[in-house]
């Protein structure tokens, strides 16, 4: 008989938490007990039926041991509670940025560095949404030819900023982001950290170094666009070795979870787990230069699907 | 007494034609006679009052000589009619791509290459909207340090594709662009021309070479985003010489028509003639690398305002 697991979803009412429940259901993860946590508790509609969510307290965590805890909460909540779950024997897969750069926590994209997942000490980090989709696409190119430099510009959807931001997109409000996003673009995501770069931009740099290679020179500009779901990104690569357009295309065609198309849009991938790549072409003016467009559902491959894929690896 | 001019606007009912009338009015261009042309003729509301538009025929052009003809029509219409106006003694300022790469036609951004405007043989070309805003911003940096390489990703608004596309943005339709643009992004603008690049992308390359310098290596990816007005662009520069962030910032602060801000958005510039630059920072991983965000109203600096500025130069 197939082994089944008790799975907790922490932050089950947020956009990512809800999507985690959808993905667990769709991918038929073998669950024998589903435990939901939200800040305030209360009934929660899920694809598995209505479930009573527990409030996130140490006592509840002790009373309800689980095999896996999928975290879809802010960093500060993750810092307070993740280790309590792992002490109780659960493997925590955390979607916040709290643990990503911790040397003792693997940062995992199953298509890219699956073996890292097994070196965990109770917590595994899910990468930033944009990092996940870009590295899923470019990893096979890196393995074949080596990426020397990567220049990224993102086109990030509003769902990446949460439900209140999606409300602002509909209403024209400014509540969640401070600036109107409807019919507008905001070329600054998260706070400035260093050298004029935002936290969101440096996540792409640092997470690429941790997951793929410290030798890749990465530059990113992150822009919020008035699209509800799916992030796009233009990616300009300089490779270490000469490569033909055909060979680079073959890397993408063979890449797991990736589809190479002509000019894919957010509406081509919304609600799906994969990564679409398009507009692949040479930059004849750069040495071994190539450019492409990468689009994925930020709540799926950028968050929930990647987390459930990590659980699938481990069982 | 100030000299006044007779000015024709050809294509007065389109988005660019209407904006040309607004800009002529706002900038108080000295007009003694306004002649409007539209494909079908008919009454036209303008800031100068209601004007009866003529239908665009050779006979009408002969009957109504003018000093300047501002063209806001498709390339094929421009090819048919621009030389008729210039033969009649008018200076044509054309917003289409028909004449831009013609060796006998200057391609002019008044802040960048004003002297070229005086070398016309009856027709002057207005650059592509994105080229106009990017080169207005980076020209002073090029003059001071030399730009070696420029990698551009555009975030282009729907008004750049005309009124029917704006209707699609509101209605969720697919009539004008073939693909839904509402809540979506289209990473392909215009047709493929060469090497997997679109006409829109090669315009940025070729027009930068003609206006600024053939020595600049340019790579562009053009993406349509669901914003009604104003184009954004991320610009990654490699300079020929070392430069401090302060010195590059000073170039932008001193640049005519440019304002250097923190993180400007389309709503900060819509309906205005200037160019906003933000997110200026070093790319420490590139030799003499800098990046920035450039945003302008594509119907203004990207089209109508640039055309009227050319007329202002000539008088």
Mean confidence (pLDDT) of chain B? 97
Beta-strand relationship, A275-283 and A289-296 = antiparallel
**Do B231 and B201 sit in the same domain of this protein?**
yes
Nearest to B255 by CA among B206, B219, B292, B283: B292
Do B93 and B58 fall within a single domain? yes
Whether A210 contacts A219, CB under 8 Å: no
Backbone torsions φ then ψ of B240, nearest 5 degrees? -75, -25
User: Is B262 in a helix, a strand, or coil?
Assistant: coil
CATH number at A275 reads: 3.30.360.10
Containing A278, the helix (H) or strand (E) segment is strand A275-283
* Residues in chain B within 8 Å Cβ distance of A278: 187-188
pLDDT band (50, 70, 90) for residue A78: very high
pLDDT at B40: 82
Residues from chain B that touch A262, judged by Cβ atoms under 8 A, are 188
pLDDT tens digits for B80-102? Answer: 999 999 999 999 999 999 999 99
Is 90 exceeded by the pLDDT of residue B66? Answer: yes
Query: Is the pLDDT assigned to residue B41 strictly greater than 90?
Result: no
User: Using a CB-CB distance cutoff of 8 angstroms, which residues of chain B are in contact with residue A266?
Assistant: 183-185
CA–CA dist B81, B102 (Å, integer): 16
Q: Which residues of A touch B187 (CB under 8 A)?
A: 232, 234, 263-265, 278-279, 293, 295
Q: Encoding tokens for residue A248? A: 């680079």
Contact between chains at B284 and A232 (C-beta distance less than 8 A): no
Alpha-carbon span A281 to A290, nearest angstrom: 6
Tens of pLDDT, residue by residue over B114-144, are: 999 999 999 999 999 999 999 999 999 999 9
Task: Judge whether A284 is closer than 8 Å to chain B, CB to CB.
Answer: yes
Do residues A82 and A186 share a domain?
no
Q: Is the pLDDT of residue B1 over 80?
A: no
pLDDT at B9 over 80: yes
Chain B residues within an 8 Å CB radius of A260: none
Which CATH number characterizes residue B27's domain?
Answer: 3.40.50.720
CA atoms of A252 and A291, how far apart (whole Å): 13
- Does the model's pTM come out above 0.95? yes
CB pair distance less than 8 Å for B279 and A155: no
Do B140 and B111 lie in a common domain? no
Rounded CA separation A148/A154 (Å):
20
Tokens 């996540």 locate to: A203
Q: Is any Cβ of chain B less than 8 angstroms from the Cβ of A183?
A: yes
- Do B70 and B205 belong to one domain? no
pLDDT in tens, A91-128: 999 999 999 999 999 999 999 999 999 999 999 999 99
> 């790549």: which residue's tokens?
A277
Domain count of the fold of chain B? 2
Question: Are B202 and B77 part of one and the same domain?
Answer: no
Tell if the CB–CB gap between B185 and A155 is shorter than 8 Å.
yes
User: Does the beta-carbon distance from B236 to A151 stay under 8 Å?
Assistant: yes
How much is the pLDDT for A44? 93
**For B269-313, how does the pLDDT look when each residue is reduced to its tens digit (9 = 90+)?**
999 999 999 999 999 999 999 999 999 999 999 999 999 999 999
Does residue B160 sit in the same domain as residue B257? yes
Q: What is the CB-side half-sphere exposure of residue B134 using CA atoms within 13 A?
A: 34
Long-range contacts of B114-119 (CB under 8 A, 24+ apart): B114/B313, B117/B310, B117/B313, B117/B314, B118/B313, B118/B314
State the residue for tokens 């990512």.
A16
What's the length of chain B?
Answer: 315
Q: What is the pLDDT of residue A39?
A: 85
Instruction: Tell me the count of A-B CB pairs closer than 8 A.
Output: 143
Residues B44, B189: one domain?
A: no
- Active-site positions of A read 129, 231
Q: Contact, B93 vs B68, CB < 8 A?
A: yes
For residue B229, indicate whether it is catalytic: no
- 8 Å CB contact of A183 and B227: yes
Nearest CA in chain A to B293: A187
Residues B187 and B230 in one domain: yes
Closest-CA residue of A relative to B222 is: A234
Using CA atoms, how far residue B311 sits from A27, A128, B21, B31, B132, in Å, is: 63, 50, 13, 11, 16
Confidence at residue A2, expressed as pLDDT on a 0 to 100 scale: 84
Q: Are residues B134 and B123 in the same domain?
A: no
Q: Rounded to whole angstroms, how far apart are CA atoms B38 and A31?
A: 67
Instruction: Answer whether B315 touches A (CB < 8 Å).
Output: no
Candidates A132, A92, A107; CA nearest to A311 is A92
The two three-digit tokens of residue A193, written as one number: 């950290």
What residues 212-251 of chain B have any CB closer than 8 A to a CB of chain A?
Answer: 217-219, 221, 223, 225-229, 232, 234, 236, 245
Alpha-helical (H) ranges within A172-244 are: 199-211
Pairing of strands B289-296, B258-260: unpaired
Q: Are the Cβ atoms of B291 and A219 closer than 8 angstroms?
A: yes
Please report the pLDDT score of residue B257 as a whole number: 97
Residue of chain B minimizing CA distance to A292: B221
What distance in Å separates the CA atoms of residue A64 and residue A7, rounded to the nearest whole number? 10
Domain that holds residue A280: 130-299
How much is the pLDDT for B214?
A: 97
- Residues of B numbered 13-42 whose beta carbons fall under 8 angstroms of chain A's beta carbons: which are they? none
User: Is residue B188 within 8 angstroms of chain A, CB to CB?
Assistant: yes
Q: Are residues A148 and A287 in the same domain?
A: yes
Strand pairing class (A5-10; A68-71): parallel
Partner-chain contact A278 B187, CB within 8 Å = yes
Strand partners, A70: A9, A93
- Strand order from edge to edge, sheet including B147-156: B217-224, B147-156, B231-239, B289-296, B275-283, B258-260
Same domain, B113 and B134: no
Which tens digit of pLDDT belongs to each residue from A268-313? 999 999 999 999 999 999 999 999 999 999 999 999 999 999 999 9
- Residue B281 touches chain A, beta carbons under 8 Å: yes
For residue B32, CA distances in Å to A96, B17, B25, B308, B314 come to: 65, 19, 12, 16, 16
C-alpha Rg value of chain B to the nearest Å? 19
Return the bridge partners of B150, or none. B218, B237
Q: Which residues of A touch B287 (CB under 8 A)?
A: none
Q: Which residues contact A39 (CB under 8 A, 6 or more apart)?
A: A11, A55, A56
């Amino acid at each position: 008989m197939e082994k089944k697991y008790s799975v907790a979803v922490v932050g089950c009412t947020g956009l990512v938490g809800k999507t985690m429940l959808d993905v667990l259901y769709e991918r038929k993860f073998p669950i024998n007990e589903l435990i939901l946590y939200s800040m305030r508790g209360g009934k929660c509609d899920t694809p598995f039926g209505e479930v009573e969510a527990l409030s996130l307290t140490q006592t509840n965590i002790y009373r309800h041991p689980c095999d896996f805890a999928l975290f879809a909460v802010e960093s500060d909540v993750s810092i307070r509670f993740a280790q309590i779950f792992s002490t109780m024997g659960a493997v925590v897969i955390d979607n916040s940025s709290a643990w990503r750069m911790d040397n003792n926590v693997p940062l995992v994209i199953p298509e890219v560095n699956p073996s890292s997942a097994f070196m965990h000490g109770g917590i595994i980090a899910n990468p930033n949404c944009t990092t996940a989709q870009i590295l899923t696409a470019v990893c096979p190119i890196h393995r074949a030819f080596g990426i020397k430099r990567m220049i990224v510009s993102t086109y990030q959807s509003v769902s990446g900023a949460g439900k209140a931001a999606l409300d602002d997109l509909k209403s024209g409000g400014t509540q969640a982001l401070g600036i109107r996003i409807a019919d507008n673009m905001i070329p600054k995501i998260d706070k400035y950290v260093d050298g004029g770069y935002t936290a969101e931009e440096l996540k792409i740099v640092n997470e690429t170094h941790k997951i793929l290679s410290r030798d890749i020179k990465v530059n990113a500009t992150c822009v919020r666009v008035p699209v509800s779901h799916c992030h796009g990104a233009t990616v300009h690569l300089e490779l270490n070795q000469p490569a033909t357009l055909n060979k680079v295309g073959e890397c993408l065609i063979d890449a797991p979870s990736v589809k190479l198309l002509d000019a894919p849009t957010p509406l081509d991938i919304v609600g799906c787990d994969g990564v679409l790549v398009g507009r692949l072409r040479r930059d004849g003016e750069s040495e071994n230069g190539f450019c492409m467009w990468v689009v994925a559902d930020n709540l799926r491959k950028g968050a929930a699907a990647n987390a459930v894929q990590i659980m699938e690896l481990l069982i």
